[in-house]
Amino acid sequence: MKYIMRQNLVSFMVILGMITLSTLATAGNDPVIQDIDYTPNNPNALSTITFTATVTGDNPTVHVFVEECRDDLCYADVQNVTMEKTSTIQYEREITLKHADANIIHYQIIVEDQGMWYKSSLEAVSLEGKETDDGNDTPGFEGILMIVSIVVIGIIAHIKKRF
Amino acid sequence: MTKKRIDIKKSHWAILSVCIFFLCLVAGCTESENNEKGDDFSFTTLDNTIKHLRDYRDKAVILDMWATWCTPCAYQMIELQKTHDHYETDDLVILSVDIDSRESPSDIQQFMENLRNTYGVTLDWIFGMDDGTIWSRYQLSGGIPTLCIFDQEGTLIFSHEGVCIFDETPLGYPEDLTRLRPILDDIIG
């Protein structure tokens, strides 16, 4: 009886060990996105932000996705670019923001590895020094053309007087 | 000879002035005053059917350009729900077209499900995917949501970038948001 129980215990421990090893082996192959960071800590609109990420995995392709928004809209020209590998598991990329009136950005790290996609959560960063845009700042096309016309006429009149 | 030269110069001067004057007048016509006739754009619905603007003649049409990752677009849909509930389906059609070609119908359906669960909206109007022609034609300065409103003859009469509200300003929203109701009442009556 004791012998049977010991046999069962040994079998159980062997099976448990095999399961644990296989789990570790599997987990070691899947990319893991860690330690996402960005500088500067308080970016401005139109500034350049450096994103860094620690990503494990066999040979993943790592992207950073950045969208710029203001309160009532987001800009469709999102930036989704490949990050450069700076060390075995470190990746880095500079992103220059494009919209002066954006007051917040969302970013996300996206990893592609052997046909599988992994994403970090979408994080938000408030921008400082946004420029307001009420849409009425520029004089309009006709106004500019009128001003140019007046200047040209004035120059022609001046030249005519001289000669 | 000198007098003739002066006369020629005067006539050139007059012609130049007239040309510049008319150029200034014409320049005003190049700005978008929303007098563009509605084009017969097409898009693909979530069940893979191709639809056209012309399929909705005799109805006012709201074209809502959006993407699932755009948070303000979700707020816009809440306002579109109020708009949809206010008018008869015989009078108004809403087309919410996802302009991000990287997204799939399942992404859209997931988004809709999340919005329904979170805000209790039904979103029972037409959703679809841009085939690449809608956004390139109707975007204003690259922001979403962008709304376009076409009258019953397919003429584009309104376009706006950013969130529009239906009528009353919801709590926490800015007071100066564009209201859709006066525009739609004017078309639908």
Nearest to A69 among B9, B31, B71 (CB): B71
Higher pLDDT, B131 or A105: A105
Residues B69, A78: C-beta atoms closer than 8 Å: yes
Percent of chain B clearing pLDDT 70 (strictly above): 86
Domain A32-135 sits in CATH 2.60.40.10? yes
pLDDT higher than threshold 90 for residue B22: no
Tell me the pairing of strands A116-119 and A104-113: antiparallel
Q: What is the mean pLDDT of residues B48-77?
A: 95
| pLDDT for the residue numbered A95 | 97
Break chain B into its structural domains and give their ranges.
Answer: 1-31, 32-188
Residues A156, B142: C-beta atoms closer than 8 Å: no
Q: Give CA–CA dist A47/B175, Å, rounded.
A: 30
| pLDDT for the residue numbered B112 | 97
pLDDT tens digits for A63-103?
Answer: 999 999 998 999 999 999 999 999 999 999 999 999 999 99
Distance from CA of B92 to the nearest CA of A (A): 24
Nearest to B163 among A73, A153, A160 (CB): A73
Contacts of A100 in chain B (CB under 8 A): none
* Phi, then psi, of A21 in degrees rounded to 5: -65, -45
| pLDDT for the residue numbered B78 | 97
Tell me the pairing of strands B50-52 and B42-45: antiparallel
Q: Give CA–CA dist A109/A104, Å, rounded.
A: 17
Q: Is A115 left (phi over 0), alpha (psi -120 to 50) or beta?
A: left
Distance from CA of B124 to the nearest CA of A (A): 23
Residues A75, B100: C-beta atoms closer than 8 Å: no
Per-residue CA distances from A39 to A44, A93, B184 (Å): 11, 11, 47
Break chain A into its structural domains and give their ranges.
Answer: 1-30, 32-135
DSSP secondary structure string, A15-51?
Answer: HHHHHHHHHHHHHHHS-EEEEEEEESSSPBTT-EEEE
The encoded tokens of residue B87 equal: 């008018």
Residues B69, A106: C-beta atoms closer than 8 Å: yes
Tell me the pairing of strands B126-130 and B92-98: parallel
Query: Is the ipTM above a cut-off of 0.85?
Result: no
Nearest to B161 among A71, A73, A146 (CB): A73
pLDDT tens digits for A8-49?
Answer: 877 777 676 665 555 544 445 678 898 999 999 999 999 999
* Domain made up of B32-188: CATH architecture: 3-Layer(aba) Sandwich (3.40)
| pLDDT for the residue numbered A134 | 41
| pLDDT for the residue numbered A146 | 73
Secondary structure in 3-state letters for A61-107? EEEEEEEEECCCCEECCCEEEECEECCCCEEEEEEECCCCCCCEEEE
Q: What is the mean pLDDT of residues B158-179?
A: 93
Higher pLDDT, A128 or A79: A79
Helix boundaries (H) for chain B: 2-27, 71-86, 105-119, 134-138, 181-188
Tell me the pairing of strands A104-113 and A84-85: unpaired
- Name the CA dihedral angle for B173, B178, B181, B184, rounded to a multiple of 10 degrees: -150
Please state, rounded to an integer, the average pLDDT across all residues of chain B: 88
Q: What is the mean pLDDT of residues B137-156?
A: 96
- Residue B86's pLDDT band, with cuts at 50, 70 and 90, is very high
Percent of chain B clearing pLDDT 90 (strictly above): 71
- Residue A135's pLDDT band, with cuts at 50, 70 and 90, is very low
User: Residue B97: exposed, middle, or buried by beta-carbon count in 10 A (0-12, 13-18, 19+)?
Assistant: buried
Q: For residue A128, what is the DSSP state?
A: B
Whether residue B104 lies within 8 A of chain A, CB to CB, comes out as no
- Residue A115's pLDDT band, with cuts at 50, 70 and 90, is confident
pLDDT higher than threshold 90 for residue A107: yes
Q: Give CA–CA dist B161/B142, Å, rounded.
A: 8
- Residue A163's pLDDT band, with cuts at 50, 70 and 90, is low
